[in-house]
Amino acid sequence: MDDQAINLLIATQERLRGASSTVTIRGFLNLLIGIGFAIGALYLLKEAVEIFSPERLRSITTVEISYIIGIRLSLALIITLISYFFLSLYRKSLDDVKFYNNEITNISSRAAALSISIKRDDKESIVAVIEKLMDDDRNNLPSAEDEKNPNVLSEKLASALIAKLPDLKIK
């Protein structure tokens, strides 16, 4: 029983590490794409300015200048927005990596608690650790009513935190 439970927790850790690694790689890819588009937009803006030499400015009308600059600036703006999109995906992936690392830490501490309880052969602590493992509701989402009234949500959060205080044991 002890090896099987610990092995399940270790397998969960490995899956989370793999997911975290995948998110990290995607994040860096999004960062590179975003930087590439930003550099492209800067290059396009530079070209928009350099296209007008003093001789060329004398030979074309104001309408043509406005048309050429308008097209280039519009294109640069679109490229910048695409760049912003990829950079925001990168920022979101950083939050995802933090989430996965937090979950890995939680599982590590629970595996350690279970392992120590099993090694001590203390039935009460084994039961307590298993109850704690089973007690966590990872999908505890606020209801539609709670979202309409933020005070109720805050009260529920405060109540949940206060309820956890007696469980804390300082050694």
Query: What per-residue confidence (pLDDT) applies to 170?
Result: 46
134 and 67 in a common domain:
yes
Find the domain containing 116 and state its range: 2-138
145 and 125 in a common domain:
no
147 and 66 in a common domain:
no
60 and 86 in a common domain:
yes
Does 33 or 3 have the greater pLDDT score? 33
- Mean of pLDDT values over 68-90: 88
148 and 109 in a common domain:
no
129 and 79 in a common domain:
yes
103 and 154 in a common domain:
no
151 and 84 in a common domain:
no
- Position 97 pLDDT exceeds 80: yes
Q: What is the pTM of this model?
A: 0.61
Tens digits of residue pLDDT in 102-160: 888 888 887 787 778 778 877 787 777 777 776 665 655 555 555 566 565 566 666 66
- Position 85 pLDDT exceeds 80: yes
- Position 165 pLDDT exceeds 60: no
146 and 133 in a common domain:
no
Query: What per-residue confidence (pLDDT) applies to 35?
Result: 93
Domain count along the chain: 2
Question: What CA–CA distances, in Å, run from 73 to 45, 70, 76, 129, 153?
Answer: 7, 5, 5, 62, 46
Rg, C-alpha atoms of the chain? 28
Query: What per-residue confidence (pLDDT) applies to 4?
Result: 75
Query: What per-residue confidence (pLDDT) applies to 147?
Result: 57
- Position 9 pLDDT exceeds 50: yes
Tens digits of residue pLDDT in 10-51: 888 888 889 889 999 999 999 999 999 899 888 888 887 777
167 and 103 in a common domain:
no
57 and 20 in a common domain:
yes
Check the CA dihedral 53-54-55-58 and report its sign. positive
- Position 169 pLDDT exceeds 60: no
Indicate left, alpha or beta for 137 from its phi (over 0: left) and psi (-120 to 50: alpha).
beta
Rounded Cα distance, 110 and 115, in Å = 8
67 and 109 in a common domain:
yes
